[in-house]
Chain A
Amino acid sequence: MSYTYLITGATSDVGRTLIDRLLTGTPDALVLAQGCGDLDKLAALCQKFPGQIRPFDVDLSDRAKVDTFMQLLETAAPAPTHFIHLPALPVVNTKFKAFDQTRFDKDLEIEVHSAIRICRGVLPAMARAKFGRILFIQTSYTIGCPPKNTAAYVMAKSAIGGLVKSLAVEYAKFGVTVNCVAPSMMETNFLKDTPDLIVQAAAADNPMGRNATPEDVVPAMAFLLSDEAGFITGVTLPVTGGSAIV
């Protein structure tokens, strides 16, 4: 069976590392890669894996565009066997008194509402095929006590956690697993709005003495996406160096 991976937020550091991992040694696999205004970041991967990556420029904050994207996929691409949802707006560390409602609403659109619409699009074919893998990226902030000043981020990620558990039980009998990884602070472009001192302090406080990297997180994602992980569903797998333990 050749696999078709639908990856949203594919242009991110994690997305690109994951694509490299999934396509290495699997010439029959296809990646449907969504980005937004930054598809040039996929150029090197497209050269490395000719014909195996189909980039799509879609603004996930616009529901109509998400629906159009799904209609396009239905007619122009094989049904995804795997759906990996990575998009999120960068964390803003801000007190609740300065809560940015507009930004939060946009983050919910990009992260949560788009996930619901895309899941509704891809799940019927997965259920019919009696096989599917859905994977989200959460955060260790949803494990135990979250840090202060991250309400918007933690709320959106918690909504994803609820979706994962709900879909997991509903689709288990169809051979579809739904999981998420929960990395601790990961040093990527995602942290561009996070003060350096917070990043350095997180590294110093981590039991491993450093922050996570995409290379730490992607193998855990690849495992949850693998055939072997077929009996694991509804879980949040912490990838934290020990900084958050379930």
Chain B
Amino acid sequence: MTEQDILTAVQDIFRDNFDDDSLVITRETCADDIEDWDSLEQINLLTAIEKRFNIKFKLSDVRGLKDVGDLLDLVARMV
């Protein structure tokens, strides 16, 4: 699975979670860029990503994520 594949799948999850079909995310996208992206939404995103990629995050894995790039790297290490 390429990073682009992961990005595309993660973007679909973001679009569904934030109810915005036109949402485009990049490696640099962070919580400041999406108004509704708070700590609970972050967990919802991570839970959906766990389900989509059949992986299991630990809280310590995800507490330090700064942006989508960190998230993609984490997923890439686990798939």
Same complex for A and B? Answer: yes
Chain A interface (Cβ < 8 Å from any Cβ of B): 93, 97, 147-149, 195-198, 200-201, 204
B46 at the binding interface (Cβ < 8 Å): yes
Give the CA-CA distance A197 to B60 in the complex, in Å. Answer: 10
| CB contact under 8 A between A197 and B40, given known A97-B19, A204-B59 | no
Q: Flag if A198 contacts B39 (CB, 8 Å).
A: no
Q: Quote the shortest CB–CB distance from A71 to chain B (angstroms).
A: 45
Give the CA-CA distance A204 to B50 in the complex, in Å. Answer: 20
Q: Flag if B43 contacts A201 (CB, 8 Å).
A: yes
Q: Quote the shortest CB–CB distance from A221 to chain B (angstroms).
A: 29
Most buried by A among B56, B58, B59: B59
B39: contacting residue among A93, A196, A201, CB under 8 A: A201
Q: Give residues 39-59 of B contacting A (CB, 8 Å).
A: 39-41, 43-44, 46-47, 50, 56-59
Q: Flag if A148 contacts B59 (CB, 8 Å).
A: no
**Which secondary structure dominates where chain B touches chain A?**
helix
Q: Quote the shortest CB–CB distance from B61 to chain A (angstroms).
A: 10
Chain A residues positioned under 8 Å from B40 (CB to CB): 147-149
Q: Flag if A196 contacts B56 (CB, 8 Å).
A: yes
Q: Flag if A195 contacts B59 (CB, 8 Å).
A: no
Q: Flag if A149 contacts B44 (CB, 8 Å).
A: yes
Apart from A147-B40, A148-B40, A197-B59, list 5 A-B contacts with CB within 8 A: A97-B19, A196-B56, A197-B62, A200-B59, A204-B59
Q: Flag if A198 contacts B56 (CB, 8 Å).
A: no
User: Whose C-beta in chain A lies nearest to the C-beta of B62?
Assistant: A197
Task: Assign chain B's interface to a size class.
Answer: 10 to 19
Give the CA-CA distance A147 to B19 in the complex, in Å. Answer: 19
Chain B residues positioned under 8 Å from A204 (CB to CB): 59
Give the CA-CA distance A93 to B48 in the complex, in Å. Answer: 12
Q: List 26 A-B contacts (CB under 8 A).
A: A93-B44, A97-B19, A147-B40, A148-B40, A148-B41, A149-B40, A149-B44, A195-B43, A195-B47, A195-B50, A196-B56, A197-B43, A197-B46, A197-B47, A197-B50, A197-B57, A197-B59, A197-B62, A198-B43, A198-B47, A200-B58, A200-B59, A201-B39, A201-B43, A201-B59, A204-B59
Give the CA-CA distance A201 to B42 in the complex, in Å. Answer: 11
Chain A residues positioned under 8 Å from B62 (CB to CB): 197
Q: Quote the shortest CB–CB distance from A191 to chain B (angstroms).
A: 13
User: Whose C-beta in chain B lies nearest to the C-beta of A94?
Assistant: B44
- Ranked nearest first, the 6 interchain pairs of A and B with the lowest CB-CB distance are A200-B59, A195-B47, A197-B43, A148-B40, A198-B43, A197-B46
Chain B residues positioned under 8 Å from A195 (CB to CB): 43, 47, 50
Give the CA-CA distance A23 to B68 in the complex, in Å. Answer: 54
Give the CA-CA distance A198 to B50 in the complex, in Å. Answer: 13
Give the CA-CA distance A196 to B47 in the complex, in Å. Answer: 9
Q: Quote the shortest CB–CB distance from B74 to chain A (angstroms).
A: 13
Q: Quote the shortest CB–CB distance from A235 to chain B (angstroms).
A: 29
Most buried by A among B39, B47, B50: B47
User: Whose C-beta in chain B lies nearest to the C-beta of A196?
Assistant: B56
